[in-house]
Structure 1
C-alpha cells in the first residue's frame, strides 16, 4: 500500500515522520486542517537540513552562543546561524530612497497623539455570551444616565466601574497612541473634546462608557527624527530578501523528494 505521507529526503538524508510531527506543533494551521502544519513543518525541516549540509560542506565547526540569558544555542542552531552569516548578504540601505518615501507622505510620521479620557468599565469575558448581553444592557442603562446627567459620570464610575480608575471618578489621566487596545483608541478618535461616546464601546475587557476630555494631536516629525526607525525597518526587509535569495539558491541545487520545497 502506498504510504499516506511520502518520506522526505534531502540530498539522500531522510527526515523522519516523528521529527516532522514534533516540528508541526510549532506551525499554526486552520482548524480541521492539520495537514497544513505538517507541510509547513516538513518544509522547515528540509530547509534546515539544507542549511546544515551547507555548513558541513564549508567545514564549519559549531560555535554556540548565548542567545538569551541562560539560553545557549544547540550545535545545529549554531551551524545554521553560522552559514546564514556567511551566505546572507543584505543590500545596503539607500538613505536617498528613505528620504523619498518620507517626502511622499510626511504626515504618516507623527509624534503620538495625547488624550485625556474617562471611562466606566462593565467587565465581561469575551467568551461569555450570556454575560455579554447582561453587561451590554447594564452599560446602556448607565450611558443613558450619563447622557441625561453628565455631572453624574464620576459618581457612577465610583459605584459601578470595574477599573481602578473608579477611585478617580473614572479619570484615566494622560494616554498616548498605543496605550490602550485598538477598539478603545478608535473610539477616542471619533469623539470631540468633552463628548461621551453615544454607545458603549466593546473591547476584550467588556463595555466602556467613554468620555474624551482633551486631545492634543501629534505633530509631523522631521526626517532626521524618523530616519533611525526607517533605516532599521529597511535593514530587516533587506535581510529577509537576502535570506530568501540564499535559501532559493540552496534549493535550486538540491535533490529533494517527498515535498515541493519553497521559501515562505
Structure 2
C-alpha cells in the first residue's frame, strides 16, 4: 500500500490543498493569492460583515486599492499607441494548428513540439501543402479536417486573448505564418494569416470611454499585483512561490 503523501503548501499555516491532492503550479499560486486576500479581509473584520468570502475580498480591494482616473493626456497616448486595437471591421482569413493544453499534458513537451512545427512551417515553400498536412496530423481542432482553415474572422469571432495576439500592432501587416506561437485558453496555436481586410479606426472621442476602461483595468491589475506582493512579503509561505506569477490569479 502506497502511503506517500504530498507535502502541504500553506499560507500562514492554512493548507491550500488536501494531503492527497496534487496541484499544478498555476493553480497553487491562484489558491495562495486568494488565501492571502481572504486572511487580509478577515484581519480587517470584513468577513464578520459578510458570510461570502468573495464579497469580503471585493470589499477589501475596494478599500485598499487606489486606482486613479486616467487623465486626458494618458488616454490620448494609449489611443495613439494602440490604434490597431480600436479598428472596426478588420478581418483576417486564417488557418491554424492547435496544440490543446488538456489535464495531465506535459506542457513543456507540448510547447517544444509546437515550436518545432512552427519552425517547419515557416520554412515551408509558399503555396505548398505543408500547413494543411501539419493541421491534419497534429491539430486538436475540428478544422483539421479542412487543413486547419478557420475562414474570415473578426475580433469578435475570437476568444479575447487570441484576438489580442493575432490583431496585435506588431503583426498588423503580416501575411503568412506568424513568427511566434499564439496562446489562448484552448492551447498553443501555429497561425497562418492568408489574407487581410483592413478596418477603420474611429476618432479618439468615439472610443474615449473604452480607452479609459482599458487603462483603469490595467492600473487595477498593477495595484492588485503590488498589494499581493506586500501581503506575500508579510506572510509565511510554505511550498508555494508567488515570484513566478506574471499576474495575480484570484478566483
* Higher relative contact order (Cα pairs below 8 Å, separated by 6+ residues): 2
TM-score (ref. length: structure 1):
0.47
Tell me the TM-score normalized by structure 2.
0.50
